[in-house]
Structure 1
Amino acid sequence: MRPVRTAARAMLGSIFVLDGVRTLAQPEKRAEAARPLADRARPFLERADPRLPTDPVTLVRVKAVADVLAGLALATGRFTRPAAAVLATGLVAHTLSDRDNRDQVLRDLGLLGGLLLAAADTEGRPGLRYRTSHAVQRSRRTARRALRTAKREARIATLSAATARKLPG
């Protein structure tokens, strides 16, 4: 299954890398489509931090850089789950700004499905919740075992001391 995961992630990540590079080369085209969404987000950005950029061209460039970096991470198999989550978040914003084109929205929904699968994929290894709960159970078993051993050793020591007192000499 590993070669399939590797190939799928490389194909999925390459879409975002190429799209991000194209956007960085010509951000104005995407900025016009993103303007309504950027205008709605402006008050939230200004409230969060007045130093954050609010113009659509800069926001589109920031998203493009995030797409390139996260796409490369996904394609190379590094930080795949966080990279897929970043790409999915950016894809939702992209879909909202491009909702008039039905074919593009359907393409984006398909990509979003693939990103959600990549974000949830643990590569056959147990997830964090499973590992945490089992680590707690192992710790409890180890503590109980150590307590039983300590009680047994204490009984043996008590019996040894009692026996030693009975010995002559």
Structure 2
Amino acid sequence: MSLLRFVARSLFASYFVAEGVRAVTKPAELAPDAERFTSTVTPLLQRVVPADIAAYVPEKAETWVRAAGVAQVVGGAMYATGLGRRLGALLLAKASVLNLAISLPDKGAPKVAKGAARPEVLRNAALLGAAVLAARDTEGRPSLAWRAEHTAKVTERKAAAIGDDVTRSARKAAQRTEKQAKHLAKKARRSAKQLGRKLEGTIN
């Protein structure tokens, strides 16, 4: 990893790490805003996931805030250091969804409150987009899907080339066999003629 990439990643991850530490150590500050999101998501998850897993879905907003904080700290550290870089960016993207939901004002909020919340909403939306792009970044190297497709095409070309070689070899073998058969037929005809002459000479 180049120095420029390390610095850029560290700058990007620093915000998430700082916010994650705050969420883990002081979840009560963010819990009231997160309540609007978690009160809707928690029942939905409990209905969707299997029954044995539904019991582990957190119901308290503070637990959700702490979980998002841990994801931000771990994801930020992974992304900044390059150890599990894309997985770390994916954790940041998932945590950004909660951050964006928390920053959204209520539908019935006054225009002044909505205007005051707009910069934070736009910031969280931008960070979410950046985290998604970071999760897709392959550092200029081909993706796994491209490499798999490329390998399949190369294998297909090699198989076709081998098939052509086999076809050419079979054609050449058939031609050699045909020549040998013709040669043997000629020899057989000559031998038959010679034998016929000898028989005629003997009879005469």
Q: Same fold (TM over 0.5)?
A: yes
1:120 is displaced (CA, Å) by: 2.3
* Alpha-carbon distance between aligned partners in 2 of 1:7 and 1:24, rounded to the nearest angstrom: 25
- State the match for 1:128 in structure 2: 144
**2:161 is equivalent to residue 145 of structure 1:** yes
Measured against aligned partners, the alpha-carbon deviations of 1:56-112 in whole angstroms (never above 9, x if no partner) come to: 111111111111111111111122223222212221221111223223222212322
The answer to whether the 8 A contact 2:17-2:73 is kept is yes
Structure 2 letter corresponding to 1:124: G
* Structure 1 vs Structure 2 CA RMSD: 2.5
The structure whose RCO (Cα within 8 Å, separation 6+) is larger is 1
Structure 2 letter corresponding to 1:56: A
SS of 1:54's equivalent in the other structure is coil
The answer to whether the 8 A contact 2:68-2:98 is kept is no
For these two proteins, the number of residue pairs brought into alignment is: 167
1:43 is displaced (CA, Å) by: 1.0
**2:65 is equivalent to residue 60 of structure 1:** yes
* Alpha-carbon distance between aligned partners in 1 of 2:126 and 2:170, rounded to the nearest angstrom: 65
SS of 2:8's equivalent in the other structure is helix
Structure 2 letter corresponding to 1:20: G
Between the aligned residues of both structures, percent identity stands at 34
- State the match for 1:37 in structure 2: 37
> Which sections of structure 1, spanning at least 5 residues, go unmatched?
none
- State the match for 1:82 in structure 2: 87
1:149 is displaced (CA, Å) by: 2.7
Structure 2 letter corresponding to 1:55: K
Alignment of 1:91-110 (within 5 A): 91-100=96-105, 101-110=117-126
* Alpha-carbon distance between aligned partners in 2 of 1:116 and 1:76, rounded to the nearest angstrom: 18
* Alpha-carbon distance between aligned partners in 1 of 2:101 and 2:40, rounded to the nearest angstrom: 12
TM-score, normalised with respect to structure 1:
0.82
SS of 1:126's equivalent in the other structure is coil
Structure 1 letter corresponding to 2:61: P
- State the match for 2:55 in structure 1: 50
* Alpha-carbon distance between aligned partners in 2 of 1:99 and 1:151, rounded to the nearest angstrom: 68
The answer to whether the 8 A contact 2:69-2:95 is kept is no
Q: Which moved more, 1:79-88 or 1:16-25?
A: 79-88
Structure 2 letter corresponding to 1:120: R
TM-score, normalised with respect to structure 2:
0.70
Measured against aligned partners, the alpha-carbon deviations of 1:88-143 in whole angstroms (never above 9, x if no partner) come to: 22212211112232232222123223213212221111223322221121011110
The answer to whether the 8 A contact 2:46-2:55 is kept is yes
